[in-house]
Amino acid sequence: MQPIEVRYPIYTIDQVELFAPGDFVSEETLDDLIARRPKPVPQPRSLLDFETTRADIQSLFDTPSYRIIFSDAKRNREVLDLLEKVELIPPVLASLDYFRVLDKYTYRHILLVMMVSALLARELLDAPPDQVIEAMTGPMHDIGKICVPLDILQKTTPLDMEERRHLEHHTVAGYALLAYYLRDPRGLAAVVARDHHERRDGTGYPRGIHLQDPLVEIIVACDVFDALISERPYRPQSYDNRTALDVLVGMADKGALDSRVVRALVSFNRQSHPHYKDCELSQERRGSPPANNLYQLRSDDDTSRR
Ligand SMILES: [Fe+2]
Ligand SMILES: [Fe+2]
């Protein structure tokens, strides 16, 4: 990968600075950092047995906007069984806890993206359970938001250019943090954190690459979907599911998202849950974005920039 120059510091949950403004993040600089990292490596612990995660996930199955997606108890059980196997090391769990206490939106978002990605990975990938589990640890994707001030994350008015840059920093920060914690700059979890705002057509950030990784693209689509249908600080009223899916179909049409993944999301939102291959995507746009949206979402892509 091309080194990425950072404009803001990257620090761990214990306030250890890994990169300062002007430093370059690359596989090589991370390898170097990892080699200097103190040992022993902390032992991973079960995600579901951490703090209130199990109960929080149980209650998220009842989220109104996810009612149809999570309408099949057997399928939900399978998601929980997979989540049961997810293990994370203590500093990563502590980062999740940071959001649980200080930024509920990000906490809830991380868990929901993880849950829906698991459903889609099962459906779309001919992947062994191990890979599906790996796909679910990936959605610690927003962990880099610990390096973005809370007043930017929770701002209720439009961000200025500098604030937006600081917010977008969460991708590179998350990449560095997960690479460092998991001692693997090439592993899926770190790559997801870095690339989850990239797009297939190269219109994303931080690098503007043409995304083409089936697992990452599942998380990308779930990320956009949840961002649309959830309340956000700058948009008290969320998109309804139909309008959100319209946006995703539009993004797939212009080549930004994987249409297979979008089709699967549409099928999970239908009561009858047809197989995604049989799920026709309507070209008709029937929904309308919410009113009083302070952020004034101008383009489809803008909808997922936070
Ligand atoms: Fe993000
Ligand atoms: Fe996200």
Structural domains present in the chain: 4-304 (1.10.3210.10)
pLDDT surpasses 90 at 30: yes
Higher pLDDT, 305 or 113: 113
**Centre of ligand 2 from the C-alpha of residue 39, in Å:** 31
Do 139 and 113 touch, CB atoms closer than 8 A?
yes
C-alpha 153 to ligand 1 mean position (Å):
11
Å from CA of 14 to ligand 2 middle: 22
Q: What is the pLDDT of residue 292?
A: 56
In whole angstroms, what is the distance from residue 136 CA to residue 171 CA? 17
Helix (H, G, I), strand (E, B) or coil at 183: coil
Ligand that comes closest to the CA of residue 110:
2
Distances (CA, A) of 28 to 55, 57, 133, 134, 192: 40, 37, 27, 23, 18
Rounded to an integer, the average pLDDT of 67-83 is 92
Q: Is the pLDDT of residue 59 over 80?
A: yes
What are the tokens at 134? 């790996």
pLDDT band (50, 70, 90) for residue 225: very high
Which ligand neighbours the alpha carbon of 194 most closely?
1
Q: What is the pLDDT of residue 42?
A: 85
Reported as a pLDDT band with limits 50, 70 and 90, residue 291 is low
Spatial contact of 57 and 107, defined as CB atoms under 8 Å apart: no
pLDDT reported for residue 139: 58
Distance CA 258, CA 222 (A): 11
The more confident residue out of 298 and 297 is 297
* Residues measured by CB to lie within 5 Å of ligand 1, the ion: 142
User: How far is ligand 1, taken at its centre, from the CA of residue 108, in Å?
Assistant: 13
Six-digit token string for 160 = 């200025």
What pLDDT is stored for residue 137 in this prediction? 64
State the distance from the centre of ligand 2 to the C-alpha of 21, rounded, in angstroms: 23
Helices (H) and strands (E) in the chain, counts: 12, 6
pLDDT at 286 over 80: no
What does the pLDDT average to over 173-181? Answer: 95
Residue 111 CA to ligand 2 center (angstroms) comes to 10
- Rounded CA-CA distance 121/261 in Å is 9
Q: What is the mean pLDDT of the chain?
A: 88
Question: Which residue in 58, 57, 65 sits closest to 228, CA to CA?
Answer: 65
Tell me the CA–centroid distance for residue 96 and ligand 1, in Å. Answer: 14
pLDDT of residue 60: 96
